[in-house]
Amino acid sequence: MTTTKAAPKSVGAPDRSAYLVLGMHRSGTSAVTQVLALAGASLPENVMAGDEHNAKGYFEPWKIAILNDGRLRAGGAAWDDVFAFPFKPLATKAERSWLNRAAALFEEEYGEVRYPLLKDPRVTVLMPFWRTALADLEVGARCVIPVRHPLAVAGSLARRNGFAPEKSVLLWSAYMLAAEAYTRDLPRAFVSYDGLLGDWRAEVARIEAAHGAPLPKMTDAAARAVDRFLSPELRHNDGEAGLKDLGWAGAIAAQVLDWFEAASTGPAPDAGALDGAAADLARRSQDVGVLVSPVTRDLDAARAELLDLRQRLTFEQGQTQRLGAEVEALRREAALAAARLDSILADS
């Protein structure tokens, strides 16, 4: 168990609770999500496909991820803004518009399933926003927070995004601080990523104990499927003890890591132990945030625009190919009709 206290009750209707997988990108959230899905929680209608960086799939609702990116930019941040924590609410009317969109999209993706499974790391730094949206829908929350060494995350982000290790460990720190701060009154389990790959049954028991409820459908068949899924190749970029070489960014990450390693292997320490790291991050935000966050937001907006243009181009190319195929089919039909006519005329 992660705590000696009784697990708090889910917020919202007791007969419907969403499993929320929170934490930093590349920190094991996809592996945890697939375990929960195999154990009976329901994935969204539209999931992001795998790629060369995650061949087994991301299990993210790509439509919700796009909405989350937009909401982050509306607040002056982006998914890779190291100062996206703490959460920045919008003016009431603007926030309500975003909340209505989030609630409608959630219903579109999950319908009325009893145990929706939401995994998009952006939800972590937008957790106050999503808690409101879920409350509007009368859906409770059970949180699962994977814990992976920040240098392992940094290695993965360097390969996928080209991020410097200092940026990656700061991002990891911001996301983990958000995951802890925004879930203190919710059922939550801290799960070691290495532990999940080594003995997933013990980690599932940790989740169930922390939530005070069994996973929806952890059958023998589900257990065999988890055994097949959690293969050794999921372990990439093992963390090494080198945070001290990353200056103040590494110092903040080390404070956060100490807390989460303890929380993922035994009773969670007093949350006040993270206050120093949060205060350090806040001071750095005051010093350089105005130079970092707007640029990060604008780069994210440019990426989104480029992605949209690429998707439109792909669609238009597909339309052109489809029209070309239709024209070719009509040409063949015309040729066959002409041949039949010639045959009829010859016979006559």
- Per-residue model confidence as pLDDT tens digits over 132-159: 999 999 999 999 999 999 999 999 999 9
Provide CB contacts within 8 A for 179, sequence distance 6+.
22, 23, 124, 127, 143, 145
Q: Which amino acid is at 242?
A: G
Angle at 126 between CA 122 and CA 128, to 5 degrees: 150
pLDDT at res. 49: 59
pLDDT at res. 236: 53
Q: How far apart are CA 99 and CA 136, in angstroms?
A: 9
pLDDT at res. 13: 41
Walking along the chain (348 residues) 10 residues at a time, the average pLDDT comes out as: 44 74 93 95 81 53 92 95 96 98 97 96 98 97 97 92 94 98 97 94 96 95 93 56 89 96 94 92 91 87 75 69 79 80 71
pLDDT at res. 10: 43
pLDDT at res. 341: 72
- Contact of 246 with 253, CB cutoff 8 Å: yes
Provide CB contacts within 8 A for 296, sequence distance 6+.
77, 78, 80, 81, 82
pLDDT at res. 57: 47
